[in-house]
Copies of this chain bind each other. A is one copy, B any other.
Amino acid sequence: MANPSLLILPGDGIGPEVMDEVKRVISWFGDKRNLAFDVSEDLVGGAAYDAHGVPLHDDTMAKAQEVDAVLLGAVGGPKYDNLDFSVKPERGLLRLRKEMDLFANLRPAQCFDALADFSSLKRDIVAGLDIMIVRELTSGVYFGEPRGIHLEDNMRVGINTQRYTEAEIERAARAAFDLARKRSNKVCSMEKANVMESGILWRDVVTEVHQADYADVELSHMYADNGAMQLVRAPKQFDVILTDNLFGDILSDCAAMLTGSLGMLPSASLGLPMANGRPKAMYEPVHGSAPDITGQGKANPIACILSFAMALRYSFDEGAEADRLEAAIEKVLADGARTADLMGPEGGTPLSTTQMGDVILSAL
């Protein structure tokens, strides 16, 4: 049987640097665990714009549709800030999400014990935190029409449309309930049903799906503004949080920051099953392209490596191998391995990106 295929899109900024360490980890699994992948590589974001004048070439899009999983680094940078909206680096990422139909964005917010003191929150509020945010990723105000800026009586008007069909809400809800069953069996759904009709439909459909097929899962609803408050006040009350594209963008970043170590957080974006049974999938770290530290060997590769661990778990059904990789990372952290972003006030010499890769490979 052919090896499973991976398309690597390192992207911009620190993307290529952290992806170099992921490539070494991938090779290790091929050499040592008999888990070989066919790896190809291509451009996305500003890097694709520089080469082709578009943030994602059609050929790259076609490749992404064919492989078993895409690994993405990061997109964007100040160099591209003044590009036209239609060719901004972000459009490459959004095109991948939309055309691969990756509707379920899984964003774990997990606080590593060895790093709990990095949080701006008190240790007891965040130690042991383990939330999974399921964000709808292919619809809502990110993609709704009509949209744009036009003139009305000589005045500019900016418009975007929040639009959800019941089918879109249903499949995101199912993803959340399925995940909850493998965790603490609790879903909290967040919207603004007190203000937005799209939020009323969201709440109704989530409730219907729950009653029909997931009555064993504990379901609650919360307005998104209260959700932001509760995340700050007492985040451990949550297990799985289900929310839409825009609220998910903001709430998942808020949740990510609670853990204190953005350089540690991976994500998975999953779509429908392909012919081989695997879901369409893209994996990427939650952090951005970090132009301020690009090219200095300072970036923390762990979020990107943990994204590959999510690929092992969700695309390749290799949960035990994912556990192995995550355990190796917990071990090096417990042993005190730290990149620059993880240095406390006590100081010390941080590991470079490559050195962090080295210690993780040794721990494996």
Chain A residues near B (Cβ < 8 Å): 76, 85, 88, 90, 94, 120-122, 125, 141-142, 144, 147-149, 152, 155-167, 192, 194-202, 204-205, 224-226, 228-229, 231-234, 246-247, 249-254, 256-258, 262
Contact = CB atoms under 8 A, between A and B. Distances in A.
Contact of A225 (B166, B249, B258): B249
A159 B120 contact: no
Given A90-B195, A158-B197, A247-B250, 4 more contacts: A155-B166, A192-B249, A225-B250, A226-B253
A243 to B, nearest CB: 11
Contacts of A85: 197, 200
A252 B144 CA distance: 26
A165 B156 contact: yes
Contact of A122 (B122, B204, B224): B122
B163 A162 contact: no
A247 B224 CA distance: 10
A234 B262 CA distance: 14
Contacts of A234: 120
A232 B255 CA distance: 9
Contact of A125 (B120, B158, B204, B254): B120
Nearest to A204: B156
Contact of A88 (B76, B194, B258): B194
Contact of A253 (B164, B165, B197, B228): B228
A224 B200 contact: no
A234 B257 CA distance: 10
A199 to B, nearest CB: 7
Contacts of A165: 152, 155-157
A258 B225 CA distance: 13
Nearest to A198: B158
